[in-house]
Amino acid sequence: MAVGGAAAGAAAIWSFATSGPSWTTLAGVAALLVASLVAEAFPVPIEGVAVGATSLANVFIVGTAVVYGWAPAVLVALVTITAVETARRRPPVRVAFNMGLYALAGSAAGFTAESSEGPELGSLALGAFSASAAFWLVDVVLLAAVVARTSEERFLPYAWRYVFWTAIPFAIMASLAVLLVVLWDRSPLIAMVLIAPMVAIALYQRSVQGSLDRLREVDRLKDEFVAVASHELRTPLASVYGAAITLKKHDLDPKTRDAMLDVIFHESDRLARIVNDVLWASRLESGSLRTTVESVDAASLAEEVVVDARPRLPTSCSLELISPPGLPPAAADPEKLRRVLVNLVDNAVKYSPDGGRIDIELAASDGQVRFAVRDQGLGIPESEQERIFDKFHRLDPYLQRGVSGTGLGLYICRELVHQMNGRIWVESSAGEGSTFSFELPVAS
């Protein structure tokens, strides 16, 4: 296709150069080329069309074909696609492919337009319409042929699908091309007036499509949210239910009774934590969380977190607070600071299935109070360290030895730390434990 395109391009340059174009022709082609470049650079997304955004450049290429003939149309098509694709840093193979596609489609539009020449309104309109149809058909058929060949599928189903998807954009494009050509015939300057409504439609359509895409993303997140939360709630609920049924039997020995009560205690604690995460995440989402920053004694708040966490620690884990004397107070919202520390300590315990030492270390430097939660657990591969702070992002279950969770805890931590004007990060390597740190400004 690239060879066909190159041949069409070379023939077009030769034909256009030897035809001795007048200054008005050159100016007209240049104006259409600029319009085509702008249209290609800012494609218009059309709702319900599955082949991405649609470029209105075709309208100007077809316009050039009807008004000035096939050779300038091929040149406008080639310059447009080469400039825009190169500026987008597309791979050379793709640029060559698209150049071929546009050059051949432009030639088809030009030859079709030339065969229905005539000065009357009707034949101008018919020329513009049939040139649009020729451009569209060549474009769609070549694209379908290449895609079918690379995916080793049959050509006809692809071609039909592409025709079906692009029929609406084609109808819009063809009517715009007819309008452009008829107006251009009356006065090129008047035709330029078309540009304003076209730009307005393109901008409006892009903003509507942007809003729709955002709404779909919110909807997708909501579905994921419901799926994750209900899946995570089911397991502890089943354990509590099972333990309660066992306790109902009267002939239990004290050891089994204690074990069942232990299950109920731990699993209902886990349930409460999941519900807590969901509540915090939804408060963050709705923007209803207020931050009241005050001067907080970081050491005593961290001490409270440690004291609360100790009774729930597995026997294989230990938890220590390391705090230097004279630590300055942090500028923080105490409830949010506590939530961040609780989440990080919970994770340190959860992701240390073989136990180990967990430290919370506090320090002050450069006007910041630093909190570090260090564990000797599973660790996190470097490639995942950015993404674990994203909503719902969890490591491969194999990497975390089947430990369950919602993927919300670190997202909540990151958002809360940001709301308190701080930053949070992790240092870790797989199999060697992790250190989650965050900094908050010293209270003035």
Binding site for ligand ADP (CB under 6 A): 347-348, 351, 375, 377-380, 388, 394-395, 400, 405-411, 434
**DSSP element (H, E) containing 320:** strand 317-322
CB of 382 to ligand ADP, least distance (A): 13
CB of 410 to ligand ADP, least distance (A): 3
Q: Which residues pair with 44 in a beta bridge?
A: 54
CB of 293 to ligand ADP, least distance (A): 24
54 near 140, Cβ under 8 Å?
no
Q: Using CB atoms, what's the residue nearest to ligand ADP? A: 405
Residue number, 27 or 227, with CB nearest to ligand ADP: 227
Q: How far apart are CA 306 and CA 21, in angstroms?
A: 84
Question: Per the structure block, which two tokens stand in for 91?
Answer: 């791979």
CB of 357 to ligand ADP, least distance (A): 13
Residue number, 370 or 374, with CB nearest to ligand ADP: 374
Is 430 exposed, middle or buried (CB count within 10 Å of its CB: 0-12, 13-18, 19+)? middle
Contacting residues for 397 by C-beta, under 8 A, at least 6 apart: none
41 near 84, Cβ under 8 Å?
yes
Question: Per the structure block, which two tokens stand in for 424?
Answer: 């949070």
Residue number, 210 or 381, with CB nearest to ligand ADP: 381
Residue number, 68 or 436, with CB nearest to ligand ADP: 436
Residue number, 69 or 407, with CB nearest to ligand ADP: 407
Quick one: DSSP state of residue 170?
H
Q: How far apart are CA 155 and CA 161, in angstroms?
A: 10
Phi, psi dihedrals of residue 119, rounded to the nearest 5°: -80, -15
Q: How far apart are CA 190 and CA 184, in angstroms?
A: 7
Residue number, 8 or 388, with CB nearest to ligand ADP: 388
CB of 394 to ligand ADP, least distance (A): 3
Residue number, 304 or 386, with CB nearest to ligand ADP: 386
3-class DSSP assignment, residue 331 = strand
End-to-end CA distance of the chain: 69
Question: Per the structure block, which two tokens stand in for 295?
Answer: 């001067």
Q: How far apart are CA 303 and CA 424, in angstroms?
A: 20
Q: Which residues pair with 423 in a beta bridge?
A: 439
CB of 419 to ligand ADP, least distance (A): 17
CB of 211 to ligand ADP, least distance (A): 29
Residue number, 367 or 431, with CB nearest to ligand ADP: 431
CB of 317 to ligand ADP, least distance (A): 12
CB of 330 to ligand ADP, least distance (A): 22
387-to-265, 344, 404 alpha-carbon distances in Å: 32, 16, 17
CB of 100 to ligand ADP, least distance (A): 47
Q: How far apart are CA 413 and CA 346, in angstroms?
A: 12
Residue number, 131 or 337, with CB nearest to ligand ADP: 337
Q: How far apart are CA 444 and CA 439, in angstroms?
A: 15
Contacting residues for 432 by C-beta, under 8 A, at least 6 apart: 376, 379
Residue number, 335 or 390, with CB nearest to ligand ADP: 390
